[in-house]
Amino acid sequence: MRPRLGASARRDEFHPGYGSLHRREDRGTVGGVLDVLPERLRASLRETADQQTEDVLERRRDAWCRLLSNFRSVYGGIQHERLTLPAYGGHLLDPDRFPFLEGRATGTTWRDTPATPLPINNRTVLHLLEALQIEGHEDLIDYRKHLLIECVSRLRKGARDLVRMRYGDRLTFDEISKRLKKSGAALRMMMSRIRRALQECMLRGAKGAEV
């Protein structure tokens, strides 16, 4: 039986403040802060890993800082001419709960002590976010897998073959390039279009399951 995919299942999984942000996005009343929401950041990192390999992520360290800044925004709020966001608070996102994550000493406060975040690479952040996405939501993940399989089946044969080789056979783009006699750049561009098409297909399916 498919789970009921209301707002609490799809959007409030991490923190209730994020559900509010998504509803504001639907109304067009919130801006760029959504670019670093955990689920958006995870999707962006996964796309980079798929197109350029996870080794590239291991050499970058911006995702952790972006994630921490987003946590601060949701916890403490934003007052800016381009964006006003209420402070949602909550124990989960309290920057002073684990100050070492921001490179601060115990007993300091986030409002008056500069942060020097730990040098955590983007690959680690990706795996962390993917683990958090799955934990405790097995029924929802099963439904998403079913929906993904259904959406993949609607792709053209060439696109399905590329998805199978990249994710099923775990071939690199260089290996696929040799097999299909196409440039790696062309294959990465094709995969990017496929990912967008699958995301749109799954979003339509999820919306159709809302109650």
Whether 148 and 194 have beta carbons less than 8 Å apart is answered as no
Of 35, 33, 11, the closest CA to residue 77 belongs to: 33
**Per-residue pLDDT at 132:** 72
**CA–CA dist 42, 63 (Å, integer):** 9
**Residue length of the chain:** 211
What are φ and ψ of residue 78, in 5° steps? -135, 135
What are φ and ψ of residue 80, in 5° steps? -145, 155
Of 134, 114, 116, the closest CA to residue 38 belongs to: 134
- Name the residue with tokens 């360290």: 61
Write the DSSP assignment of the chain as a string of letters.
-PPP--HHHHTSSS-HHHHHHHHHHHTT---GGGGGSHHHHHHHHHHHHHHH-HHHHHT---HHHHHHHHHHHHHH-EE-SS-EE-----STT-TTTSGGGGT--TT--TTTS--------HHHHHHHHHHHHHTT-HHHHHHHHHHHHHHHHTS-HHHHHHHIIIIIS---HHHHHHHHT--HHHHHHHHHHHHHHHHHHHHHHHHHT--
**Per-residue pLDDT at 178:** 92
Q: Mean pLDDT for each 10-residue chunk of the chain (211 residues)?
A: 39 49 51 60 87 89 89 82 76 86 90 89 89 56 68 89 85 90 90 85 59 30
Domains of the chain: 1-135 (no CATH), 137-211 (1.10.10.10)
